[in-house]
Chain A
Amino acid sequence: MTPPLAALLAWIPFIHPLHLPEGARLWMFLPLAACVAVVYRATRARTARELPRATLKTFVNIVVGMCLIAIAAYAIHEGVLRFSRG
């Protein structure tokens, strides 16, 4: 048995921690943003039928907002580095 397969068979969900692939940490933001959008919109909906469109809109708003915050934080970081160098 190959080592990765043996490791997979020995893995018990929720007991053994899961190893995330390299670079996956950033992308884990998207499902979480989707969950937040779904729950937030569900607290404002009278029925589940109203949800898909409103959820998509909120999801896009969250993702775009977070991207803008990241860009602003990066710009500030670069600015501080530039000014600190003199």
Chain B
Amino acid sequence: MSMKQKPDPTIRTIQAGILAWILPGAGHFLLGHRGIAAVFFIAISFAYGTGLAIGGVKNSVNPQANRWLFLAELGVGGYTIVGYVVSNNLPNYGAKELSPYVSFYPESDVAQIYLAIGGLLNLLAILDALTRAQTGGLPVFYQEMTPTADVPSEGRK
């Protein structure tokens, strides 16, 4: 009788990481954690979408306007790439004209905070997806939380 070998988790880990980067929750969806995937998708998309709606895409997703904000936003790769393409295709206004696509204080501040936190929260979600892919479904801090818990053997190296 031939024994089936366990599939190498590396490919699945890479797939989950890339999917989670493109769309919040997609990595968890791939791993079969549908409930957690929905939670990540709703929470992160809400934060990012609210920031984008308040700030407008023109200056909010623009490395020339704010490179550190753009770096934080890159935590959600799918949204940020689409936003960057749209932002580059909007017309530029001269210094003397008031652009209808640009937000100003205090809206721009609120938008930046929402967008940056949305992107950084997705980094947490990506790390969680990578961990769950490698441990067979255990969350990032599971072993910290329950040191004496009965962890399935496939979850440990």
A residues near B, CB below 8 A? 13-20, 25, 28, 31-32, 34-36, 38-40, 42-49, 51
Contacts and interface: CB of A to CB of B under 8 A. Distances in A.
B100 A16 contact: yes
Interface string B93-114: 0000000111100111111011
B137 interface: yes
A17 B86 CA distance: 14
A51 B44 CA distance: 15
Nearest to B137: A46
Contacts of B118: 35
Given A31-B46, A47-B35, A40 B124 contact: yes
Contacts of A32: 47, 113-114, 117
Interface string B20-44: 0000000000000101101110111
B139 interface: yes
A43 B140 contact: yes
Most buried by B among A35, A38, A45, A47: A35
A49 B35 CA distance: 8
Contact of A25 (B38, B106, B141): B106
A51 B43 CA distance: 13
Given A35-B44, A36-B121, A17 B54 contact: yes
A43 B117 CA distance: 16
Contacts of A14: 49, 52-53, 56-57, 83, 86
A23 to B, nearest CB: 10
A20 B105 CA distance: 10
